[in-house]
């Protein structure tokens, strides 16, 4: 039975990878045909790299399948979150890819309606990934998850939820817990986390109102939605058993990253767990260093290079965290740490 579950999950995940890869090819073709941009140097001689990445993609899907078979999370996490929206959004997404490509070509990074920003800090006033409206419109929120899955060939969700496995290795969490998610975006990880932990309260937080609004629409159940910056959390000391973030840190300036860690330490209960899933860093996998160099150029990520060089373990220890563990697979890296 376990083997059957593993094989089924693997086949299902690989099918998603085929679909997203196909969509990537279409977008690439459209962008190159209608709005060509200068090729980044890392795009040369890619054959070996693609072969290597292909094997890593299969690996991450195998890990996902094992985690389902071992009850780390339930099987329904693999069901696409919004298949109807996927088809409905496709034409918009293809059209938007041309706008993105144009922005990339002309290096337009601050094409954001300032009225939508409100009191957002300066470092966020930009088109991350050259995406339309940055993180500050409902249209952007609608397309975001789909765009990320295309970028990662359908491995983004499995890479995100591998953090659940890492957290469960750090703590058994037998009783219902209080969870805080920082930079939750449109709630992609929240769906899987809520199915995998017993919780008495789950706070989904982000700095973007439109992204939170979209998260609110999709997350039915016992969630609280709070607009908050990770570096200035509106919570009391020692409120949570688990604080985590996914793909947040690489988008923050170093001083903000350090402050998010301090704030997470402050709001965690003693013995609580802090967990991060983010990009791999320089030399985690030397074969992928060239991908790390190209990514910030192609996807407008101004703090990414510094992130890849940042010693997160040191920052966690400086803030008082103990039992710091790291691991990485494909393009994602995981940290877990406990508050003393
Ligand atoms: C790359 S997205 C990741 C979203 C989501 N966690 C995911 O896995 O798809 C980064 C998210 O962090 C949010 N964000 C950026 N800076 C933030 C900050 N200082 N505090 C809280 N959220 C922030 C953005 O609005 C965006 O939703």
Q: How far is the CA of 246 from the centre of ligand 1 (A)?
A: 8
pLDDT bucket at 285, cuts 50 / 70 / 90 = very high
Chain segment 4-34, per-residue pLDDT in tens: 889 999 999 999 999 999 998 888 888 777 6
What's residue 36's pLDDT? 60
Most confident of 33-42, 105-114, 175-184: 175-184
- Sheet containing 240-246: which strands, arranged edge to edge? 224-227, 199-206, 177-182, 240-246, 268-279, 332-339, 321-329
What's the mean pLDDT when you consider all of the chain?
90
Give the pLDDT confidence of 181-199 residue by residue, as tens digits: 999 999 999 999 999 999 9
Q: Indicate which residue's Cα is closest to atom 20 of ligand 1.
A: 229
- Residue 39: pLDDT band by 50, 70, 90 thresholds? low
Q: Which residues pair with 180 in a beta bridge?
A: 203, 243
Q: Kindly give the number of the ligand 1 atom that is closest to the alpha carbon of 160.
A: 8
Q: Give the residue, by CA position, lying nearest to ligand 1 atom 3.
A: 247
Homologous superfamily (CATH) for 156-339: Vaccinia Virus protein VP39 (3.40.50.150)
**C-beta separation of 181 from 228 below 8 A:** no
Q: Where are the domains of the chain?
A: 2-151, 156-339
Pocket test for ligand 1, best of 159, 185, 210 (most atoms within 8 A of CB): 185
Question: For residue 163, what pLDDT is reported?
Answer: 98
Q: What is the pTM of this model?
A: 0.94
Share of the chain above pLDDT 70, in %: 95
> What is the 77 CA–ligand 1 centroid distance (Å)?
21
Q: Which sign, positive or negative, has the C-alpha torsion 26, 31, 33, 36? A: negative
Q: Choose between 294 and 176: higher pLDDT.
A: 176
Q: Residues 45-83: pLDDT tens digits?
A: 677 888 999 999 999 999 999 999 999 999 999 887 667
Q: Which residues are near ligand 1 (CB < 6 Å)?
A: 124, 135, 148, 160, 182-185, 188-189, 206-208, 211, 229-231, 246-248, 251-252, 256
């Amino acid at each position: 039975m376990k083997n059957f579950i593993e094989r089924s999950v693997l086949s299902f995940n690989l099918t998603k990878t085929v679909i997203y890869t196909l969509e990537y090819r279409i977008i690439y073709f459209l962008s190159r045909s209608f709005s060509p941009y200068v090729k980044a140097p890392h795009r040369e001689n890619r054959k070996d790299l693609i072969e290597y990445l292909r094997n890593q993609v299969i690996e991450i899907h195998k890990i996902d399948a094992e985690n389902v078979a071992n009850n780390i999370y339930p099987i329904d996490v693999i069901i696409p979150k919004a298949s109807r929206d996927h088809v409905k959004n496709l034409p918009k997404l293809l059209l938007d890819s041309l706008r993105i490509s144009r922005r990339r070509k002309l290096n337009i990074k601050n094409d954001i309606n300032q009225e939508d920003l409100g009191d957002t800090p300066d470092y966020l006033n930009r088109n991350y990934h050259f995406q339309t409206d940055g993180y500050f419109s409902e249209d952007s929120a609608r397309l975001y998850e789909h765009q990320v899955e295309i970028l990662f060939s359908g491995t983004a969700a499995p890479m995100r939820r591998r953090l659940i496995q890492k957290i469960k290795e750090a703590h058994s969490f037998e009783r219902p817990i209080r969870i805080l998610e920082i930079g939750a975006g449109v709630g992609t990880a929240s769906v899987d986390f809520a199915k995998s932990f017993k919780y008495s309260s789950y706070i989904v937080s982000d700095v973007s109102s439109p992204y939170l609004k979209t998260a609110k629409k999709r997350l039915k159940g016992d969630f609280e939605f709070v607009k908050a910056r990770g570096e200035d959390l509106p919570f009391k000391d020692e409120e949570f058993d688990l604080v985590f973030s996914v793909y947040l840190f690489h988008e923050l300036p170093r001083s903000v990253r350090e402050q998010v860690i301090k704030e997470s330490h402050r709001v965690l209960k003693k013995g609580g767990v802090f967990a991060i899933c983010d990009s791999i860093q320089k030399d985690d996998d030397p074969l992928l260093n060239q991908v790390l160099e190209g990514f910030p150029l192609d996807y407008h990520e101004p703090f990414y290079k510094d992130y890849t060089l940042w010693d997160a373990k040191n920052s966690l220890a400086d803030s008082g965290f103990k039992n710091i563990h790291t691991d990485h697979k494909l393009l994602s890296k995981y940290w877990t740490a406990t508050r003393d």
